[in-house]
Amino acid sequence: MSALMKIQRVTGRPIPLRGNDIDTDRIIPARYLKAVTFDGLGQAAFFDERFDAQGNSKGHIMDDPKFLAKGPRVAIVNKNFGCGSSREHAPQALLRWGIKALIGESFADIFFGNCVALGIPCVTASEADVAALMQAVEADPGHDLTVDLEALSASYRNTSYAVQLPPGVRNQLLQGTWDGTRVLLDAGERIGQTAARLPYVRGFGN
């Protein structure tokens, strides 16, 4: 339950991560889950895509000097990004690598929910717009992109693209109420009242 943090827009250096069905094993290989904290996951993001067995760079876009930047970044992805394992280590690794927002054609359900819990907007755009945005960034990298949750737009180099976010999630981010625990505990006694109505909670007693 961090302090209320409203997220209205995210500005950062864009990074296209091309491909459909990119799973969370690829985003963070399981060996990096052997830890009791999320610290240090940033450098392990997409590790096996970026480095060979000897740790030499394979020239992945995340290590391409043209796309290097300090400060926040915005990932641009295709369809069903983050499918597979529920590991929150995946968005945690992306966040720690600097990714504060994602624009994509679609996201896997669990990944999307994990991102909301961390205050990372995952906005969707049409296939054509995602393709155009990826092309624009690859052709002319090195500029900031802005995702605006109020205007529901993503803008890069004087071009603006329409993006979508479910209204409820959008409100949570805009109002800073995306931190789940605080909101859920607000229900107070109603939690116990719901439990009391469930026969199995009472052990199916008479």
- Closest contact distance (angstroms) between CB of 180 and another protein is 4
Which parts of 46-85 interact with another protein (CB under 8 A)?
48, 53, 79-80, 83-85
- Closest contact distance (angstroms) between CB of 83 and another protein is 6
d(C-alpha 81, C-alpha 111), whole Å: 8
d(C-alpha 10, C-alpha 111), whole Å: 19
Q: Nearer Cβ to another protein, position 68 or 187?
A: 187
Concatenated DSSP letters for 167-206?
A: HHHHHHHHHT---HHHHHHTTTHHHHHHHHH-TTTTTT--
- Closest contact distance (angstroms) between CB of 69 and another protein is 27
Contact pick of 4, 5, 162, 183 for another protein (by CB under 8 A): 183
Which parts of 132-171 interact with another protein (CB under 8 A)?
166-169, 171
Does 176 sit near another protein (CB under 8 A)?
Answer: no
